[in-house]
Amino acid sequence: MKSILIAVAVTLGLAAAGAVNAQEDKAKAAGCLNCHATDTKKIGPSFKDIAAKYKGTADAQAKIVGELTSGKGHPAVKVSADDANALVKWVLSQ
């Protein structure tokens, strides 16, 4: 029984890591990583700093997606609405 629980935990951990890698791959493809990094400032703030800035802000996701897609306050990014929402959700989870 214990080995089954360990196997399930490992599988869930690998699945979570795969989801993070998928979002990081999307961020790279969208050009986000040209200016941002997960935990260090580059040209733009780190994703962790962005998450901290918007922590507790109810409309953070909608606001950031709007800035990214409209080009107001941030250069416009060319990704689908679904990808923009997924990327912003990932950034805010940092």
User: 36-75 burial, b if ≥16 CB within 10 A, otherwise e?
Assistant: bbeeeeeeebbbeebbeebeeeeebbeebbebbbeeeeee
CATH classification of 2-92 is 3.40.190.10, yes or no? no
pLDDT beyond 50 at 33: yes
Sign of CA dihedral 86, 37, 54, 21: positive
Confidence category of residue 22, pLDDT binned at 50, 70, 90: confident
Confidence category of residue 15, pLDDT binned at 50, 70, 90: very low
Q: Could you tell me the two tokens for 60?
A: 């953070």
**Residue ranges covered by each domain of the chain:** 2-92
Name the residue among 71, 72, 68, 76 with its Cα closest to residue 85: 68
Predicted local distance difference test score (pLDDT) of residue 3? 52
Counting residues of the chain whose pLDDT is more than 90, the rounded percentage is 69
